[in-house]
Structure formats: structure tokens, C-alpha cells
Amino acid sequence: MSERVELVWIGDDAPAYDHGPAHPLRPARVTLTRELIHACGLLGTPGVAEVAGRDATDDELALVHAPAYVDAVRRAGRAEAGPWWEFGFGPGDNPVFPHMHEASARVAGASLVAAEAVLSGRAEHAFNPAGGLHHAMPARASGFCVYDDPALAITWLLARGVARVAYVDVDVHHGDGPDAIFAGDPRVLTISLHQDGRTLFPGTGFVEDRGTGDGEGTAVNVPLPPFTGDAGWLRAFEEVVPPLVEAFAPEVLVTQLGCDTHHLDPLARLSLTTAAYRRAASVLHDLAHGAAGGRWLATGGGGYQWARVVPRAWTTYFAEMVGAEVADQLPASWVARAAAEAGSHDVPIRFSEPAVVAGDDGGAVARVVREVKASVFGFHGLAAG
């Protein structure tokens, strides 16, 4: 059990991180997650608190992002004219939206508040559900992401003397931002489990991509075939993540908890259910205490069934962080609220859900796991067999 856990809320005063009503990244998914956490009584658990986020400063953003890029984000959000396409903005994934810098700086700042909490000892675990924007690059927006808050939090920790950080990314899309930013840094272990880049954006994250220079072996990519279900995904997760994190012995565990791996997600083709999230949460919690001294900084990430899946997934992770059992039946007040927000009565009433038939029999997953072990385990003194 953890003595203190914090939920970092971006704040009602923050401009919305909102790409527009037709965009799949709906800000309501974060609001509904917070409301479900409250409705389940998790904030009433001893030692659990909700704390306010803050804006990341320009100097803090410059730990990862080029000042010219930050300036472009600010000016584009003010509707100034400019060649914003040079920075990754335009119709499609990354449209310019009002107050874009201010909204993005608050998301990034909330992850820094989480980093401050675990580094100072104010909390053992901290969760920023608005974070996890892992596609943003130092000078370019990508994949709905403006500022790369996981990479920023990790860099902030390193700048304050943390010697090793392990980053585990379970989003359906490759965690290409942290992978690229820390590819040559032996202080950061990045592990990304994702749908094979040959079948999904951003088209990267293959087994042979294992870091560069002094960082070779510290970038770990586990590309899984479409329609991998709970059993195959959990096999890959449990055979790769715990041994590597334990061998790396990080001072802080950082996770990106994207739930677009769910079988109902409209943007990808993995076949997970909430049962996989429950098990992954338990494994990560054990790793936080067993390998990282209890220090666990978690962020949200992808997830585009914003009323039906995301709140249940992230509340499951937060319940594990606080060590609380929640009833399987979702609170009726929250179900009504989610249905009203979604304009539909097709909102689940339970955390659990029926198993789904996966499209992969496990053979392809087993091959990927063998390839990953052969590629990187030796760098960490682990046997590949």
C-alpha cells in the first residue's frame, strides 16, 4: 500500500486542449475520468488527494522543445498568420486551436506537478490523466500532441539528479516521442508495446529500433500484430516489461497508459478488454514498489471511445495506484452523466466486460517476444531464452 497518492487535475481555469468537435481526441474523456474517480469514492481513501496542475514555463518546455517551436505554438493559438505547417500543424491530426499554447502548457505542467510529487516524496504515486501526449517531437506537433509531457517530465527528473528512469508506454501507437528523444541516453529505458507500425500510425517502433550510441539497448519496441487480444498482449507485457524494468533498477517509473488498445477503439485494431488493464495496472504497481522505490508517475494517453472505455480504463489504473477495490457496478449517477455527455444510452454499467475472441492465436506474439528478447535482453544481463 502507498501512503500518499495524488490525482493531478489540470484545473477548471485551463483553456481546453480541444482540437474541435469533429476531432477524435475529446477533452470530455479526461473530465469523465475525473468524475468517475470521484464517484467511486477513490478521493475519499486515506492518503489520496487531488492537487492542482500548473502551467509549464517556457524554460521548462525548452528542456525538450525548441524555443522557436514554443513561440510558433503560442502565435498560432492567437490566430496569427504563419507557416504553421512547418511545425506540424494543419487540417487533420493537428489543427490549430484557440489558446493552444496555454492549454498545452497546462497539460505539460500537470505532468511536472506529478514529477515534483514523486521526486520530493510528497506522494509515492501521481497520475495526470490529461497527459501522455507522446507523439510530439522537439520542434513539431504530431499525432494530436503539441508538447511531449512524458518526455518533459523525464527530462525534468534527470535535470534534478535522478540517475535512471524507466518509461513504459502501453498505448496502441508507438511511443515515438520519448523513443526518439532518449534514443541515445543510457539513463532512460523506454519500452513501448504497440500495434505493429506496418499497420498503424506513426509507422515506427520495430524490434530492431533499440537505441543508438551509449543508449543502445535502452529503447525497447514490442510491435504486436493487429487483433492481438488480452492473452497475447499480457504475454508480451509480462515477459518483456518486468524483467527489463527490474534489471534497469530505475529511480522513477513513468508510464503512459493509453487505452486505445481496446477492441472498441475506432482508430486501431488491437482487441483488449478492461481485464487486461486491470492486470497491467497490478504488474506496474508491483514494479513501482519492487524496482523503483515506490515512485510511479502515470499519465493518460490515447483512447477514442471517450465515454465507453477511457474513464473505466483510467479509473481502473488509479484504483490500483491507491490500493482500493471498487465495485464492478459503475455508479448510477456517473452512468447518467456519461450518457448525457455522449448523447447516447450506450454507456457500460460495469467495469468488467465479456471476453472477446482475438484474431491472433498467440504464435505471432510469441515470435515478437522472442525477437525482442534476442535483440535487447543481453544489454541488461538477461538471458534471451
Specify the CATH class of 5-380 in words: alpha beta
Whole-number pLDDT of residue 361: 64
Q: How sure is the predictor about 181, in pLDDT bands with cuts at 50, 70 and 90?
A: very high
Closest CA to 297 of 311, 284, 282, 316: 284
Mean pLDDT of 284-288: 98
Contact 268, 260 (CB under 8 A): yes
pTM, two decimals, is: 0.98
The DSSP call for residue 76 is: H
Computed over every residue of the chain, the mean pLDDT equals 97
Copy the grid coordinates of residue 57.
514555463
What string of DSSP letters covers 90-118? SSSSS---TTHHHHHHHHHHHHHHHHHHH
Whole-number pLDDT of residue 265: 98
Residue 86 makes CB contacts below 8 A (sequence gap 6+) with 72
Q: How sure is the predictor about 360, in pLDDT bands with cuts at 50, 70 and 90?
A: low
Active-site residues: which are they? Answer: 135
Q: How sure is the predictor about 345, in pLDDT bands with cuts at 50, 70 and 90?
A: confident
- ω into 202 cis (within 30 of 0): yes
Q: Please write the tens of the pLDDT for every residue from 40-82.
A: 999 988 999 999 999 999 999 999 999 999 999 999 999 999 9
Rounded to whole angstroms, how far apart are CA atoms 119 and 146?
25
Mean pLDDT of 199-220: 98
